[in-house]
């Protein structure tokens, strides 16, 4: 691949200010691995603090509301997280889709709002175990992604810069069992073809497609060797600098996707 591998930590609902030391350690280590783009998405409450201190890593959010503002108690807009220092937002994570009932249309509205606020987006997609077992994983992911992404004419011209896809099979998230490299290769190939179809051969070929689901330092190199894998979205293993940067290290070895 022509672009730097992108390794993003999703801290989920983990982390108080005591975790800032871990963010500092990740930032220091990232300065030694400049061939890799490293970023973390902490809870909202830590975005500004990490943004103020970080010299190398980007900080992002795990969600945003689709409206610019208004009577939405407890919600946070894209402009607010950008103001706090976020450079990107993760959207359509399966935990949002499942636990908060987020539909594809809602995820798409959030994406449009985030892009309008100048943020980069990481759009998640992925099938359940039942869908995979029924042989419908590819069709499901294609449909989910197409319905969750803004149409090409609503995307900024630099699509590949502003959009990242994360393929995260639900059954692999937090289970310790990553998808096989064959399954990852198949799905990333399908997603690449869809991106080329939606955004044209130049932009579509350059959008990074991350794999997410039980990525650890010991399986990362094999996953990064799969064609069309442009990095990883990492949950559990992003919570300590040691394991997260072990994954970043695996991405800094030459890989030609």
Nearest to 61 by CA among 80, 37, 42, 83: 42
Nearest to 236 by CA among 1, 8, 9: 9
Nearest to 219 by CA among 204, 207, 236, 203: 236
Each residue 218-257 as x (binds ligand PEP by CB under 6 A) or -, in order, gives ---------------xxxxx--------------------
Which residues, 9 to 38, sit near ligand PEP by CB under 6 A? Answer: 10
Q: How far apart are CA 121 and CA 202, in angstroms?
A: 19
Question: What does each C-alpha distance from 96 to 3, 56, 165, 202 come to in angstroms?
Answer: 29, 28, 16, 31
**Strand, helix or coil at 154?**
helix
Catalytic, out of 22, 37, 95, 168: 168
Strand-pairing partners, residue 234, are 9
Among positions 212, 228, 241, 244, the unique one binding ligand PEP when judged by CB under 6 A = 212
Question: What does each C-alpha distance from 254 to 202, 221, 225 come to in angstroms?
Answer: 23, 10, 9
Identify which of residues 5 and 212 has a Cβ nearer to ligand PEP in the complex.
212
> Does 129 engage in binding with ligand PEP (CB under 6 A)?
no
Catalytic, out of 33, 93, 127, 206: 93
Identify which of residues 114 and 198 has a Cβ nearer to ligand PEP in the complex.
114
Do the Cβ atoms of 39 and 7 come closer than 8 Å? yes
Region from 32-40, 115-123, 190-198, 207-215 binding ligand PEP, contact rule CB under 6 A: 207-215
> Does 215 engage in binding with ligand PEP (CB under 6 A)?
yes
93 is catalytic: yes
> Does 118 engage in binding with ligand PEP (CB under 6 A)?
no
Each residue 147-186 as x (binds ligand PEP by CB under 6 A) or -, in order, gives ---------------------x----xx------------
Give the interface with ligand PEP as residue ranges (CB under 6 A).
10, 168, 173-174, 212-215, 233-237
Catalytic residues: 93, 168
């Amino acid at each position: 691949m022509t672009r730097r591998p992108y390794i993003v930590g999703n801290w989920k609902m983990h982390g108080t200010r005591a975790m800032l030391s871990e963010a500092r350690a990740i930032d220091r280590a990232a300065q030694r691995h400049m061939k890799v783009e490293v970023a973390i998405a902490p809870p909202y409450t830590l975005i500004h603090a990490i943004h103020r201190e970080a010299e190398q890593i980007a900080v992002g959010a795990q969600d945003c509301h689709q409206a610019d503002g208004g009577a939405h108690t407890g919600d946070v807009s894209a402009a607010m997280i950008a103001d706090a220092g976020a450079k990107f937002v993760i959207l359509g994570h399966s935990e949002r889709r499942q636990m908060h009932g987020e539909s594809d249309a809602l995820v798409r509205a959030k994406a449009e709002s985030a892009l309008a606020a100048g943020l980069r987006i990481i759009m998640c997609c992925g099938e359940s175990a039942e869908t995979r077992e029924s042989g419908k994983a590819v069709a499901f992911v294609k449909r989910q992604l197409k319905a969750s992404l803004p149409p090409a004419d609503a995307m900024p011209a630099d699509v590949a810069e502003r959009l990242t896809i994360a393929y995260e099979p639900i059954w692999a998230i937090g289970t310790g069992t990553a998808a096989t490299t064959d399954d990852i290769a198949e799905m990333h190939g399908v997603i690449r073809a869809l991106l080329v179809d939606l955004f044209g051969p130049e932009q579509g070929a350059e959008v990074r497609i991350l794999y997410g689901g039980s990525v650890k330092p010991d399986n990362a190199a094999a996953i990064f060797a799969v064609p069309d894998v442009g990095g990883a979205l990492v949950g559990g293993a992003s919570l300590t600098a040691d394991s997260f940067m072990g994954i970043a290290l695996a991405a800094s070895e030459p890989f030609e996707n």
